Amino acid sequence: MSINIAVLASGRGSNLEAILEAIAQGKLDAKVKLVLVNVPGAGAIEIASKYGVATAVVPNAGLNRKEHEEKVIAELKKHDLDFIVLAGYMRVLSSGFLANFKDERGFFKVINIHPSLLPAFPGIRGYEEAFEYGVKVAGVTVHLVDEKVDHGPILAQATFNRAEDDTIESFKARGLRIEHELYPQVLQNIAKDGVTFFKRIKDETAEAQLNQGTDRETARR
């Protein structure tokens, strides 16, 4: 089943391009109804135009979070969307924003890609912090967004090794190539089978009693 998505970006837009290219090649059954950026002149706008996708520029400069989010929501609500896809959107979304995009089970229909193996290295310097820390295995995470930063249920992760002679640039470039494969794949899995993730067990004893052996959480649209 095809999914309707809006992609939110702040910068270059290489993940947006990977998504649009996967759609063009018939590998992803989705339609990008809107590309919305908060930074005027962001590369993502040009990429969207190249693929004939509608765009909206909603600058946050001079607005408080609530004012900006209201404008973003107004743009998004013009479209019939199944999911909001964050692709390098460097703004934290408030719970007020997320409440507009709740699924029937209370999860938010907002998906993010993050350049680390969460929960390690959340924030805006995922690759840099992993590299500076000296990790041998790095990775990327696609997850549902929740009210905490880089925290929601994990949909997919992929790893890569740091090479002996890596610089931060070569390390980032390898990670980015993995992002470009992983994000369209995860979206295609969602289009095909819905949103699936392992249940997060906070209190093992209580959860074990509740679950009675169930270890997967599946939400189908």
Return the C-alpha torsion angle 59, 151, 172, 176, nearest 10: -80
Angle between helices 168-193 and 126-133 (to 10 degrees): 130
Q: Which residue is nearest to ligand GAR (CB)?
A: 88
Compute φ and ψ for 206, nearest 5 degrees. Answer: -65, -45
Q: How many residues bind ligand GAR (CB under 6 A)?
A: 15
Does 22 interact with ligand GAR (rule: CB under 6 A)? no
Name the catalytic one among 68, 114, 143, 180: 114
Residue linked to tokens 């997967």: 216
Residue whose CB is less far from ligand GAR, 94 or 218: 94
In whole angstroms, give the CA distance from residue 109 to residue 146.
10
Please indicate whether residue 114 is annotated as part of the active site: yes
DSSP state of 100: G
Query: Residues 118, 124, 127, 130: is their CA dihedral positive or negative?
Result: negative
What is the per-residue binding string for ligand GAR in 91-130, x denoting contact by CB under 6 A?
A: ----------------------xxx--------x-x----
Binding range to ligand GAR, per CB under 6 A, among 9-17, 23-31, 49-57, 59-67 = 9-17
**What is the set of active-site residues?**
114
List residues near ligand GAR by CB under 6 A: 9, 11-15, 87-88, 113-115, 124, 126, 176, 179
